Amino acid sequence: MKQLLVFAIIVASFSSCIGSKKYASFVSRYYKDTTTYFNNDNPQIDIQYVDSSGFTPVVKVLKGKNYCIPAIFYWAINENYKCDLNPAIPARIFGNAIYENSLELVKNLKGCKLEITINSLPRRFTYQSRTDAAIFIVAYVVMGKQYIIPDDFTVSISYKISRHGELIKKGDITGVTPAQRFVNNRSTRKRITRQYLDSYDHHIRLAAKNILHGLTETLEKIPPENVMSN
């Protein structure tokens, strides 16, 4: 009986479900200090993103296939939460990374204005946790697995380059962020979520730098203003 009691306590500590509202609070707290605007002081670069006014929370969390199998000598608990970040969050991370690293881009503007529209950025991911526990005659075993995987990877922007109101060039640039499965079986749910979001923000900034490189190459091919007027 004592062994069963110890077993039950261990299983409960490893595998108690938290619910979608509680999991959403982990993400919301992580982004509580996120700026609500682009840090831009250059009027030659303008970044726009798809309006997210209808998406008010920081994140929407939907419960997936959660289940619990309680038995005398075996327990299995599975948690699955699908998360959809407010699109303004990756847009601001991406846009501010563009502005912060735009020195080379500005050098190649040649009197032009650059307008960037963010069409899509990754913002969906799934948290999943499974705990299996079994008790034997003289021992018990508890195994836990938890991981977070991104559900979308596409980075897409449109751009327009104009000079004195005249359109010179427009186009699209598409890329992807790394499809990485984030695993940490020894962390708490809160900690692994923070670790995933750290990695997510980092890769959004890397995507911005890659896009920035492509835009700089495009601007380098545009003739200076005096050449265009001749």
Where residue 180 sits, what CATH number does that domain have?
Answer: 3.30.160
CB 127 within 8 A of CB 79: yes
Cβ neighbors of 118 (< 8 A, separation 6 or more) are 47, 48, 49, 50, 91, 94, 95, 156, 157
**pLDDT number for residue 17:** 64
Count of domains for the chain: 1
More confident residue, 46 or 18: 46
Q: For the chain, what is the mean pLDDT?
A: 80
Q: Which two tokens stand for residue 229?
A: 């007027």
**pLDDT number for residue 230:** 47
Distances (CA, A) of 201 to 90, 120, 142, 220: 8, 15, 33, 29
Tell me if 135 is assigned to some domain. no
Rounded to 5 degrees, what are φ and ψ at 115? -115, 125
Tell me if 76 is assigned to some domain. no
Q: What is the pLDDT of residues 124-136, one digit of tens each?
A: 999 988 776 666 5
The vertex-214 CA angle with 209 and 220, nearest 5°, equals 120
Tell me if 203 is assigned to some domain. yes
Q: What is the pLDDT of residues 57-114, one digit of tens each?
A: 899 999 876 555 555 555 667 788 999 999 999 999 999 999 999 888 888 998 899 9
Tell me if 15 is assigned to some domain. no
Tell me if 106 is assigned to some domain. yes
The beta strand positions in the chain, using DSSP E, are 45-49, 59-63, 67-70, 74-85, 113-120, 124-135, 140-150, 154-163, 166-176, 182-183
Rounded to 5 degrees, what are φ and ψ at 79? -120, 140
> pTM of this prediction?
0.81
CB 156 within 8 A of CB 24: no
Cα torsion angle, 221, 98, 43, 158, sign: positive
Q: Which two tokens stand for residue 162?
A: 């104009």
Q: Which two tokens stand for residue 98?
A: 């563009």
Rounded to 5 degrees, what are φ and ψ at 47? -115, 130
Q: Which two tokens stand for residue 92?
A: 């601001």
* Structural domain of 109: 36-64+81-127+146-229
Buried b vs exposed e over 88-121: b needs ≥16 C-beta within 10 Å?
A: bbbbbbbbbbbbeebeebeebbbebbbbbebebb
Q: What is the pLDDT of residues 166-205, one digit of tens each?
A: 999 999 999 887 666 777 767 788 889 999 999 999 999 9
Tell me if 213 is assigned to some domain. yes
Cβ neighbors of 34 (< 8 A, separation 6 or more) are 89, 92, 93
Distances (CA, A) of 210 to 97, 169, 171: 11, 19, 16
Tell me if 60 is assigned to some domain. yes
Tell me if 88 is assigned to some domain. yes
